[in-house]
Structure formats: structure tokens, C-alpha cells
């Protein structure tokens, strides 16, 4: 992951600024404690897709889409979602369904996700938004209070079964998608526990390497890095309420202590990264089987 972000050929390094904000965007997208509304789903999509494709972020699609087959026409497509004119009403219906309290939380999340992917309300980014939607539902229902259950880990380990479960759902049977999401939740919990332990271990090693005063901002930045391993001074200023000068001094000290490595993103902007956390996230990605899914 570190190589992808910072050691790529010229032209790709501009992505680092987007990556630096990506974790904050995902956290904001799924972090609310209330059930999704139509507007919050649009906002979620805008947060997730805005940095990479702002022209379509946060708005329902106004063109037909299809999955599989030709890029130019839907003949031979594996699935053709509803025409764009039906999308707003179908999403309103989904929002109403998500308020039901007589449906178990995991079942509600699974069925809502499957229906969202069936409606396919956006021109792009439906997979990311649909997975974030499940997290939002589980947080609202109190299943995950203090963190994000990595549901995608279980889903992306076996994408063939996932797509087959969506097909089965569209044929009128919810069992396959509910079972798959339930297994994904268990797998995600296992991976999340492992990742949490490894991050805690890294955080402990940093304590012995920091030479700053006990009241310095450096220590608070360490706590941010375990959940957001790529930062710039704006992110730290926003989180800790520090001045730019004090923030940059603290980040530079952490670089001197061997915890951070910096890269010049533009002539006036730098980003700092934790190689240890990024390497750990690479290992997490391998364990989760995330490669190759949008």
C-alpha cells in the first residue's frame, strides 16, 4: 500500500492527497448513529466518491446502467437495474424499510444492502456505498458502537458467492444474502480483533521511540495515526485544534523519531505516513481477500 501511495511514477502521486482524506471521509460517511435517510445516503455517496469523481457524486443516476455484457448496450448483461426514473421512489421505499424494528439487525442490513445493489441508484460507487450502508445500519441498531465491523472482509473473500447471493435475492429468496452477510460479520469480527491487537502493539512500540515532552501534541497524533495512517497538517489541525506551525513541528519530530515518513504532494503541501500501519493494512487486505473488488 505504501508503494502504491508514494512510490508510484509521477502523475499518480497526486492520489496521496485523496488517500490522506479517504479515511476521514469513510468515517464521516458511516459514523452517524441514526438510520440512513434519503439525503444521508446521497451525502454518503458524495463523501465516498466526491474526491475521485465529483461530477456524479451525491446525485442519483439519470442514465441506464447494466452489469456485465457490452459497454455500449445492455444486450447480454448479467443484470439490468431499474430505469433511472424509478430510482428516487425505490430509494424512498428502501429508506422506509430500513426503519423497521421487527427485523433483526443483520437481516435488515443484508436485505437493505441487496436491495440497494439491485436498485443501483448511482452511476458509479454503488459497491462502496452499499457496504457503507450496512455499517450505518448496524451502528444505528447498536450492533457496532465504537468501531467499524469489517464486513467487506467476508464479502470480498468470496465475490462469486456474493454475486450469486444477489442473484438469488433478485429471484425472491433472501436466505443466501442473509447467510453470507452473517458469515461476513463473523469473519469481520475475527479480522477486526486481530487488527486491533496488532495496532495496539504498534502503538506501544511508538511510546518507547517518542522523545517529546509528555504534554506535547506528538502523543495525541500517535492516537490518530493508528486509525488514519496518512495525514497532512490540515487533518491534524482539525482534529486537535492546533496551529499549522505547532502541527508541522510535531509531525517533523515524529519523523525524526522514525515513526513517520513525509512526501511532498505539491509545492506547498506535504503528507506524512506511518509505514508500519500501512504495512499492517496490506496484511489485513491480504487476509481479507480484498483485491480485485470495487
Number of domains the chain contains = 2
Q: Among 189, 211, 232, where does a domain finish? A: 189
pLDDT, tens digit, for every residue of 3-27?
444 444 343 334 434 444 455 555 6
**Which pLDDT belongs to residue 293?**
47
Q: Are 164 and 182 in contact (CB under 8 A)?
A: no
The C-alpha angle with vertex 42 and arms to 38 and 47, in degrees rounded to 5, equals 145
Do residue 168 and residue 209 come from a single domain?
Answer: no
C-alpha cell at 29: 460517511
Enumerate residue ranges in the chain where pLDDT < 50. Answer: 2-21, 291-294
On whether residue 272 sits in a domain, the answer given is yes
Instruction: Provide the 3-class DSSP secondary structure of residue 262.
Output: strand
Q: At what angle do helices 87-97 and 105-119 cross, to 10 degrees?
A: 180
**Which pLDDT belongs to residue 19?**
45
**Binding site for ATP: which residues?**
124-131
263: left (phi over 0), alpha (psi -120 to 50) or beta: beta
End-to-end CA distance of the chain: 16
Residue span of the structural domain in which 98 resides: 31-189
**Which pLDDT belongs to residue 25?**
56
C-alpha cell at 261: 515518513
Do residue 53 and residue 147 come from a single domain?
Answer: yes
Do residue 58 and residue 178 come from a single domain?
Answer: yes
Q: In the chain, what is the greatest distance between 2 CA atoms, to the nearest angstrom? A: 66
CA distance 183 to 62: 35
Q: DSSP strand E in the chain: where?
A: 230-232, 261-266, 269-273
Our answer to whether residue 45 is catalytic in this structure is: no
Burial class (CB in 10 A: 0-12, 13-18, 19+), 36: buried
Do residue 75 and residue 169 come from a single domain?
Answer: yes
**Binding site: which residues?**
124-131
Q: What is the CATH number of the domain that holds 141?
A: 1.10.3290.10
Q: What is the CATH number of the domain that holds 261?
A: 1.10.10.10
**Which pLDDT belongs to residue 169?**
98
**Which pLDDT belongs to residue 190?**
87
**Which pLDDT belongs to residue 171?**
97
CA distance 152 to 109: 13
pLDDT, tens digit, for every residue of 220-254?
999 999 988 999 999 999 999 999 999 999 999 99
**β pairing state of 269-273 and 261-266:** antiparallel
Q: Are 102 and 118 in contact (CB under 8 A)?
A: no
C-alpha cell at 282: 496490506
pTM: 0.76
**Which pLDDT belongs to residue 106?**
96
**Which pLDDT belongs to residue 148?**
64
Do residue 116 and residue 227 come from a single domain?
Answer: no
Annotated active-site residue in 45, 113, 120, 135:
120
C-alpha cell at 199: 495496532
**Which pLDDT belongs to residue 155?**
78
Nearest residue to 283 via CA among 198, 180, 215? 198
On whether residue 25 sits in a domain, the answer given is no
**Which pLDDT belongs to residue 294?**
47
CA distance 139 to 149: 9
Amino acid at each position: 500500500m505504501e508503494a502504491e501511495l508514494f512510490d508510484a511514477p509521477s502523475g499518480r502521486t497526486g492520489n496521496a492527497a485523496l488517500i490522506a482524506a479517504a479515511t476521514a471521509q469513510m468515517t464521516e460517511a458511516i459514523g452517524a448513529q441514526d438510520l440512513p435517510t434519503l439525503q444521508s445516503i446521497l451525502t454518503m455517496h458524495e463523501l465516498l466518491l466526491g474526491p475521485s469523481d465529483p461530477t456524479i457524486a451525491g446525485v442519483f443516476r439519470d442514465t441506464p446502467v447494466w452489469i456485465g455484457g457490452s459497454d455500449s448496450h445492455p444486450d447480454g448483461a448479467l443484470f439490468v437495474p431499474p430505469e433511472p426514473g424509478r430510482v428516487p421512489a425505490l430509494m424512498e421505499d428502501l429508506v422506509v424499510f430500513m426503519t423497521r424494528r421487527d427485523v433483526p439487525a443483520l437481516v435488515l442490513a443484508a436485505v437493505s444492502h441487496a436491495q440497494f445493489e439491485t436498485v443501483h441508484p448511482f452511476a458509479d460507487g454503488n459497491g462502496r456505498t452499499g457496504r457503507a450502508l450496512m455499517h450505518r445500519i448496524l451502528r444505528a441498531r447498536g450492533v457496532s458502537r465504537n468501531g467499524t465491523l469489517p464486513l467487506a472482509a467476508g464479502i470480498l473473500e468470496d465475490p462469486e458467492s456474493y454475486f450469486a447471493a444477489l442473484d438469488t435475492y433478485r429471484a425472491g429468496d433472501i436466505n443466501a444474502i442473509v447467510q453470507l452477510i452473517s458469515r461476513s460479520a463473523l469473519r469481520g469480527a475475527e479480522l477486526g480483533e486481530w487488527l486491533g491487537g496488532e495496532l495496539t502493539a504498534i502503538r506501544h512500540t511508538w511510546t518507547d521511540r517518542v522523545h517529546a515532552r509528555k504534554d506535547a501534541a506528538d502523543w495525541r497524533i500517535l492516537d490518530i495515526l493508528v486509525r488514519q495512517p496518512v495525514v497532512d497538517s490540515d487533518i491534524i489541525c482539525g482534529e486537535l485544534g492546533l496551529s499549522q506551525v505547532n502541527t508541522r513541528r510535531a509531525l517533523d519530530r515524529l519523523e525524526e523519531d522514525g515513526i513517520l515518513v513525509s512526501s511532498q504532494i505539491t509545492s506547498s503541501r506535504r503528507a506524512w505516513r506511518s509505514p508500519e500501519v500501512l504495512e499492517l493494512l496490506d496484511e489485513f487486505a491480504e487476509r481479507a481477500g480484498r483485491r480485485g473488488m470495487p
